[in-house]
Chain A
Amino acid sequence: MIGCFGRRYDMLDNIHFVLLVSRQGKVRLTKWYSPYAQKERSKVIRELSGVILNRGPKLCNFVEWRGYKVVYKRYASLYFCMCIDQEDNELEVLEIIHHYVEILDRYFGSVCELDLIFNFHKAYYILDELLIAGELQESSKKTVARIISAQDQLVEVAKEEASSISNIIAQATK
């Protein structure tokens, strides 16, 4: 397995991973742009949520961690965290986080933690439109919203087809 130290030399990533953690320490979303083994992932989450959840409200939004920087911001009961390299721009990442939250907000209509809990895959798809290979790819909220709804439409059409009675009968008699 590839260790999580020294890995950055062969990976070209701006953002290494994205974490959403609730105030109670429950994980709501994880996205890894660098290869971390499953065990490491759990370790990273545990370590970081320990550090970040314990920070007071008036402190800065950056944490140094294992030679990286983790930029986090709290929105209501959720902490959005992104891990970047030392040389990356912390304020830019804060803006990306804010951007993501705004898009979620627009998509769900004043987003809350429950929306993300029950639509966790949607949160992923939106994130995928925002970042590719750990790089920001789309800075327009409108475009992201349009792309996501177009894709949702595609899925809906397919779903109706699949759940039609004739389809089920075809399955059963196969």
Chain B
Amino acid sequence: MASSNSLMYSLFQRSLEDLIKGIRLQLHGDSSFISKSLDEIRREIKLTDLSTKSIALQKLSYLAALHGVDMSWAAFHAVEVVSSSRFGDKRIGYHAIAQSFNDQTPVLLLITNQLRKDLNSSNEYEVSLALECLSRVGTDDLARDLTSEVFTLLGSSKAFVRKKAIGVVLRVFDKYPDAVKVCFKRLVENLESSDQHILSAVVGVFCELTTKDPRSYLPLAPEFYKILVDSRNTWVLIKVLKVFAKLASIEPRLAKKVADPICEHMRRNVGKSLLFECIRTVVSGLSDQETALKLAVAKIRDFLVDDDPNLKYLGLHALSIVAPKHLWAVLENKEAVVKALSDEDPNVKLEALHLLMAMVNEDNVSEISRILMNYALKSGPLFCNEVIGSVLLACSRNSYEIVVDFDWYLSLLGEMARIPHCQRGQEIGHQLIDIGMRVKDARPELVRISRALLIDPALLGNQSLHPILSAAAWASGEYVEFSKTSYDIAEALLQPRTSLLPPSIRAIYIHSTFKVLVFSLKAYFSAQESTSSPLVEESTSSVSSPENAFTYKSISSLVNMIELGLCSLSGTLDVEVQERAKNVLGFTGMIKHKIAEEVTAQGSEIEASRAVAFMEDVFSEELCPVSATAQEKFPLPDGLELKENLEDLQEICGEFLKPVVESNSNLFSSSEKISFSVARLRISDQQEASSSSSHPPESASLLAEHRKRHGMYYLSSQKSDDHNDSNGNNNTLNEYPPANEISADSFNPKKKMNQSKPRPVVVKLDEGDDFKMKPDASSNDEPLSRAIQTALMGKGKEKEREKDNHERSLDPGIKEQSSRKEKKTKKKNGEKSSKHRSRRRSDKDAIAAKPVEIVDFLL
């Protein structure tokens, strides 16, 4: 019964063609037909008849290749089909294996013998099938077991087989480096072959090998050189050029030697692919060879003006390789690059954009930005944002290194925000705040621009620009003292259309309004004081410009406006907005009363001004950037348990920890001056404490009590005394090294003297802000490169060399590891510091209300 069934199946089996026709006939989706065919295939593939089996396998591999059907379940059947004596079946089997096997396929172990048999076959086509299969699925074991067969084939008299064997060597070396000992000599011998196909194959192998580890192949340079000079085959030459590009980068003398033959190839009328390879070799590996470089740049120019978009793109690409070392090559072709910005091909446009950004320096930044902004206005959303993003990136690099005129840059940021397609709100907002904190001189302009942004009706409707508004709102509140009229700012912050904003941003608006209000009141009172008693010290009023002089009328109209604007918000559903609005309203309610009284009775005014002064103090402290390496500057004390679970600490200290953290970050960020002194801060804290409130002693005693209870979490103060900071602040009270020190070079002494307007000071903390990742050097290479070096060196030197090599190849690994580690911690610290900042902002009131003594324990 079973046998007659199987006969039925094999007699009426659908061929691949039937299957394809069947699929094409399906009008409404082919999934049901495919699953039906799959069932058929499952039945057929289990039959003993090999030809039925192989046709089933062929159908399956068709479905897998074109319809994404899984065929891993048929792995064993593929192995069965491969064992067929018929060439057609075998071919189907090998094809299926190459298509579906990977290193983890369990039946892979079963094909070793079959592969060996076929590699030794007298039929060259069977050998070729086995070689192709090995090149695709060769595992460590297969490579080891079949090395000797591959070695034999490397010397085959049939070029057809030999070149395939050469192609396989790559995989074998990669998986089983010891094969080098056996095969390398024969491989090298093939470099002298006269057959162009064999030569092409073997050079191809060396091309890939040198990519991984160029140094090992330096001894073969003479052979390669001979090919470079003699060969006229495009494919071979392209590969040899790639080899030399790698070798020349580590051996400058070689660069000098190959420059001439390469120039000759360039001058010869060669195909574009070879010409491009010559250009690329010169710009990437031989850029110190002047004549070669000049010739290459001339050829690049030909590419740039060519009508073929491929050549244009590649020309731009080649320029971008040469740009970092030889900017003149780009500058010479500036026109073509700018023209490429309006190309219809987005790839060409992007490449041109990258080149322009590479060209940017402090002299041409405004010109290039002007050009780019025009393109951003004209082009579609995708490219527009690409342009904006790269301008933002280039200008902010290394703490705004290339920006000299920050007023200009801020207006550029404002302009970007108004480009209709702009979606880079996050970055622009971030930079507005960042510049505000880093560049003191830019603050007046920042406030002006911020107000302009706030009252721009277009921005409110665009959600991706809300971060800009939030930054503008914050900046106009924080730096309100630089504004011409604080009334206008309050008006902008309270405009009715702010109801379009999400609550989190509205909260910032309200808080900024609060700051504006406090500032205005302060200005008003100090003006009053100075008129009534001119001897009063001019502490805060000095900054306010004449426009900010308030009369009773103007101040009360400001207060009224704020009340009017916020009273509707005291009932909003969002708690954050509601609470902030209520805070402000509570304050105005109190103050309004006092101001009104002030007109009649002189006495109460003092009380009001004291309350205002108190609020003023809350906002007076300045936010500064915190170094990303701040955390690293803390020496790790002995006995500190970092790995222990400290969750319970959170619980215990919940109520105490917060203010302490605040005061700590406070400490970092209030260091405007270079000399950083905790002692001074503490003294001022105490003065403030004695004059205004009785909180500090209270909280200090709380802390002492806390310390008594949870002493184990505190650090002993003696230990950190040993680490006095190295920056000359021999401040015995300060156990922390200054986190916020300003490095000397942030003053940019090297800047040109002839600038009409000096570049303002930009606070810059970390030298190596952006780390470059080193290329991944996989540890896999080691055995391979060692084996090859051994094969190339004489026996005597072998040991020494091996050791040397070992050290060398180990080194990058370690370096990379450590740099990665470094990066990781940096990142963590970066996050931490930004958290400090934001938390500090929201809890400012709390800090000022309870100045806490800075105690010597880690947060």
Contact = CB atoms under 8 A, between A and B. Distances in A.
A120 B163 contact: no
A121 B95 contact: yes
B62 A133 contact: no
Contacts of A147: 125, 160
A135 B125 contact: no
B217 to A, nearest CB: 14
Q: Which of B170, B314, B776 has the most C-beta atoms of chain A within 10 angstroms of its own C-beta?
A: B170
A33 B136 contact: yes
B276 A60 contact: no
Interface string B115-131: 00000000101000001
A12 B310 contact: no
A107 to B, nearest CB: 16
Contact of B174 (A12, A64, A117): A12
B68 A64 contact: no
Contacts of A143: 160, 197
Given A91-B310, A151-B125, A172 B91 contact: no
Contact of A137 (B91, B136, B163, B234): B163
Nearest to B236: A139
B310 A89 contact: no
Contacts of A124: 95
A140 B198 CA distance: 12
Contacts of B16: 120-121
Interface residues of B, number: 80
Interface in A1-35: 1-2, 6, 9-14, 27-30, 32-33, 35
Contact of A90 (B17, B20, B209, B314): B314
Nearest to B313: A60
Nearest to A125: B91
Contacts of A112: none
A53 interface: no
B170 A151 contact: no
Contacts of B200: 136-137, 139
B309 A120 contact: no
Q: Does more than half of chain B's interface fall in helix, strand or loop, or is it mixed?
A: helix
A133 B167 contact: yes
A73 to B, nearest CB: 10
B347 A12 contact: no
B70 A58 contact: no
B212 A171 contact: no
Interface stretch (B4-12, B447-455, B599-607): B4-12
A162 B95 contact: no
A144 B345 CA distance: 36
A33 B99 CA distance: 9
A28 to B, nearest CB: 7
B636 to A, nearest CB: 33
A41 interface: yes
Q: Which of A11, A27, A139, A168 has the most C-beta atoms of chain B within 10 angstroms of its own C-beta?
A: A139
Nearest to A73: B310
B88 A158 contact: yes
Contact of A9 (B24, B164, B314, B776): B776
B344 interface: yes
Nearest to A129: B128
A110 B825 CA distance: 62
A69 to B, nearest CB: 10
A128 interface: yes
A66 interface: no
A118 B242 CA distance: 39
A172 B95 contact: no
A38 interface: yes
Contacts of A151: 87, 91, 125
B659 interface: no
B197 A137 contact: yes
Contacts of B88: 154-155, 158-159
Nearest to B208: A12
Q: How large is the interface on A (under 10, 10 to 19, 20 to 34, 35 or more residues)?
A: 35 or more
A89 B205 CA distance: 16
B235 A91 contact: no
Interface string B841-854: 00000000000000
Contacts of B344: 56, 58-59
B86 interface: yes
Interface in B810-831: none
B262 interface: no
Given A38-B70, A137-B197, A171-B10, A132 B310 contact: no
B348 A138 contact: no
B92 interface: yes
B748 interface: no
A30 B68 CA distance: 10
B52 to A, nearest CB: 9
Contacts of A1: 102, 104
Contact of B201 (A125, A137, A155): A137
B103 to A, nearest CB: 7
A165 to B, nearest CB: 12
Contacts of A139: 196-197, 200, 233, 235
B345 A59 contact: yes
Interface in A81-129: 87, 89-92, 94-95, 117-118, 120-121, 124-125, 128
B64 interface: yes
Contacts of B95: 121, 124-125, 128
Contacts of A9: 776, 778, 780
A92 B273 contact: yes
A118 B17 contact: yes
B310 A62 contact: yes
Contacts of B160: 143, 147
Interface string B241-271: 0100000000000000000000000000001
Contact of A121 (B58, B136, B209, B313): B58
B238 interface: yes
Interface string B187-214: 0000000001100110011001101100
A38 B346 CA distance: 31
A71 B318 CA distance: 17
Q: Which of A14, A128, A151 has the most C-beta atoms of chain B within 10 angstroms of its own C-beta?
A: A128
A58 to B, nearest CB: 7
B64 A150 contact: no
A168 B11 contact: yes
Contact of A60 (B7, B64, B123, B345): B345
Contacts of B171: 12, 133
B3 interface: yes
B302 interface: no
A174 B65 contact: no
Interface string B59-86: 0001011111010100000000000001
B20 A118 contact: yes
A128 B238 contact: no
A61 B68 CA distance: 26
B649 to A, nearest CB: 39
A102 to B, nearest CB: 15
A12 B163 contact: no
Interface of B: 3-4, 7, 10-11, 16-17, 20, 24, 48-49, 51, 58, 62, 64-68, 70, 72, 86-89, 91-92, 95, 99, 102-104, 123, 125, 131-132, 135-136, 160, 163-164, 167-168, 170-171, 174, 196-197, 200-201, 204-205, 208-209, 211-212, 233-235, 238, 242, 271-273, 276-277, 280, 309-310, 312-314, 344-348, 776, 778, 780
Interface of A: 1-2, 6, 9-14, 27-30, 32-33, 35, 37-38, 41-42, 45, 56, 58-64, 87, 89-92, 94-95, 117-118, 120-121, 124-125, 128, 132-133, 135-140, 143, 147, 150-151, 154-155, 158-159, 161-162, 168, 171-172, 174
Lowest 7 CB-CB distances: which A-B pairs, in order? A91-B273, A155-B88, A132-B167, A60-B309, A133-B135, A158-B86, A59-B345
20 contacts: A9-B778, A12-B170, A28-B66, A59-B345, A60-B345, A61-B310, A62-B310, A90-B276, A91-B272, A91-B314, A92-B235, A133-B167, A135-B201, A135-B204, A139-B235, A154-B125, A155-B91, A162-B86, A168-B7, A172-B3
